[in-house]
Structure 1
């Protein structure tokens, strides 16, 4: 069963979507975390059930993150992706809090150093914004480029983590 809830954040109301799971303490495996106005973000579908309690633990951890008190997310995730996307997403998961990396470094880590554009597409398809830190990927020249949640959200997250100075 697909469950969802919304939770407030400094970026606006986040949409959390997950599947029931018997292997987690929360009883939920996160499938999507979408920001308001996100390009390609999840939209509530017929047949989904709102369950605020199932996401209470994650919502609390998100609150801690946005308050500056949490640097990693330990949660079960679910979802689909190609083998290449999963390699790219694993590289994203390995980017330490408070740091940035480049698309070319992610391409190298994913085992496809010449596939920088494909890496960008895989990062753009990341369904788990914030918790899978695609916001930590920047251009080779240090510029903030591409973020499905918008560049102001990317800037906010990187400033929160101390990777860039707040504007």
Structure 2
């Protein structure tokens, strides 16, 4: 699955959504397509990423599109494949978008190391660059960066906090530790 580069949207809307692991932030465009997903305690970081991708584009406030709220609700209720077909539009470098597309190929309940992700995109020596792209992922959970763990099976950094990464992996039934 590839991620087409997003053009500059005419409208961006920030919505808030309650989840079992804290309030989520969803940024959608005029078509109701997801541009960003993060958690409220990381709103400053999300806004910085949005400025990097869309410049000084204003972000309004609004309710989440019903279809998105329903899809995220299904995921948190146990339909672990609910997010698989969710449309999203991202900006970023070609390399970043390759990494984000590869994240979407990691099935729910599975994990992959940074090295494994680098190999998956055909750049086996680019582990550090893969890690940086993973950290710049604007659509956390949908491009499931939480499924990338250390080579020894340990939980490594997660932009939403390690407690959320652990919760998400446990929710999905993934094996990890180390």
Scaled to the shorter chain, the TM-score interval is 0.7 to 0.9
- Scaled by the length of structure 1, the TM-score of the pair is 0.87
Distance 2:57 2:20 in 1: 28
Match of 1:41 in 2: 46
RMSD between aligned residues: 2.0
Match of 1:87 in 2: 98
Deviations 1:38-67 (A, max 9, x none): 382237988322231x52211111111111
Distance 1:4 1:128 in 2: 13
SS at match of 1:129: coil
SS at match of 1:37: helix
Distance 1:71 1:11 in 2: 18
| Correspondent of 1:17 among 2, 27, 31 | 27
| Correspondent of 2:34 among 30, 33, 36 | 30
Asked whether the 8 Å contact 2:86–2:142 carries over to 1, the reply is no
Distance 1:46 1:95 in 2: 32
| Correspondent of 1:101 among 87, 109, 112 | 112
Distance 2:82 2:75 in 1: 8
- 4+ runs of 1 displaced by more than 6 Å? 43-46
- Scaled by the length of structure 2, the TM-score of the pair is 0.82
List runs of 5+ in structure 2 lacking aligned partners: 1-10, 51-55
Q: Give the number of equivalent residue pairs.
A: 158
Distance 1:105 1:70 in 2: 22
Match of 1:24 in 2: none
Cα distance, 1:76 vs structure 2: 1.8
Distance 2:47 2:72 in 1: 18
Asked whether the 8 Å contact 2:74–2:82 carries over to 1, the reply is no
Could you tell which deviates more after superposition, 146-155 or 108-117? 108-117
| Cα pair distance change 1:37/1:164, threshold 3 Å | farther
Distance 2:115 2:38 in 1: 25
